[in-house]
Structure 1
């Protein structure tokens, strides 16, 4: 069970770091771009410290396609929460529909091969 759950939890935490690295600077547009890049790069280091082992461990129980599909759904869930809670932006119906379509795509990846 831990083999299946640990990679997912690590991917969730790594995505929180990556979302801050990619989008956190949008709340601080007055800072210099070079500073935003350096801070983002520093944050992204911690994302890699979790994502790489998560994918390595996860490959023992999931295919690469399943790991990627899982990653996309996790990314969207983390981003939606970040967008609302940190950036103060709302998720519209169109965003929800788009995210749902991606989640349906991931569901197909986890189905038994046809």
Structure 2
């Protein structure tokens, strides 16, 4: 995880929505959100690393491959977070285009807020 990443704190609305899920579904969503937060941090660390002027071409290529893999993992986790409430019979996700989702994920002191925002939308919360 990035050195400057804040701990993941879920908004009260998401915490309340998660409390309505059955134990198995709540644990599945919690695990997914935690993994998503971790992947976001690893992705941003790798993006920072690839910007270093000291990297060789081979190292840049390695970082780019890692970024592609982490992006794929992040997208899969976000989709899984969207699925849990729907499968549990909840309100279901508010769908958003991948470009919109990616535009919301920006590097900065709000790393945890990005993950929590995606998770809150998965429970049908505000966008």
What TM-score do the two structures reach when normalised by structure 1?
0.48
Name the structure where helix makes up a greater proportion of residues: 1
Greater RCO structure (CA 8 Å; 6+ sep): 2
What TM-score do the two structures reach when normalised by structure 2?
0.44
